[in-house]
Amino acid sequence: MVLLVLMAISAPVSALSVNIPADANFTFSLPALRGDNITYSWTASESVSFNVRDPNGDILYSTGGLSHSGMIRASSSGQYSLQWFNSHSSSVRVSYDASSTTLDRVRGPLLDTIIGLIAVLVVIIIVVVIVVVLVVGRREQPIQQGQATYYPYSPTATPPLLGQYFGPRTAEGRCPRCGSVVSAEAAFCLKCGARLK
């Protein structure tokens, strides 16, 4: 029995023909990745047997006749084989068309990459929002120290009006506005300018 093998360099193939000698077979190999659609069609001058094999050599589909067309989804990556068997005493002409559609191959990894990038961006945005909320929240909440309540000083805040009284220094010797340590003789806080006397 004579065996003819043709390896496909590119996935799409169109309108090829081959003469299969008497009592011989012809194998066409087509590379495909898992998830690809393998489509084929063929016609023969005489009735032939036909089958499709996966990369492990297992038969996925088998038929016979003068023509056939179909599609198979690749369950694993590798070389898929289209085989024709001529059991006649004379040669048989087979014209065939076969391709491996790569749309799913592109969509799968590309979609996975896009989803991964979106997930990373969402995590980054959440972390930034949490940090901003914590930082801003600390500035707006009073700081408790002992019995007195101090409000944080901000250099961008409007300074107290001249003569605005914030109360006497605390028993611990701190400014009632910003909580800075002030001397017993100080009339104003040196940090925030609050009037103490």
For 87-104, write each residue's pLDDT tens digit. Answer: 988 999 998 888 887 654
Residue 183 token pair: 């001397």
DSSP string, 133-186: HHHHHHHHSPEEETTEEE----TTSPPPPTT-B--PPPTTSB-TTT--B--TT-
Please report the domains of the chain, with CATH numbers, ordered by start residue: 3-106 (2.60.120.680), 141-197 (no CATH)
pLDDT category at 188 given cuts 50, 70, 90 is confident
pLDDT category at 149 given cuts 50, 70, 90 is low
Range in 17-21, 58-62, 134-138, 147-151 the model is least confident about: 147-151
137 pLDDT higher than 80 = no
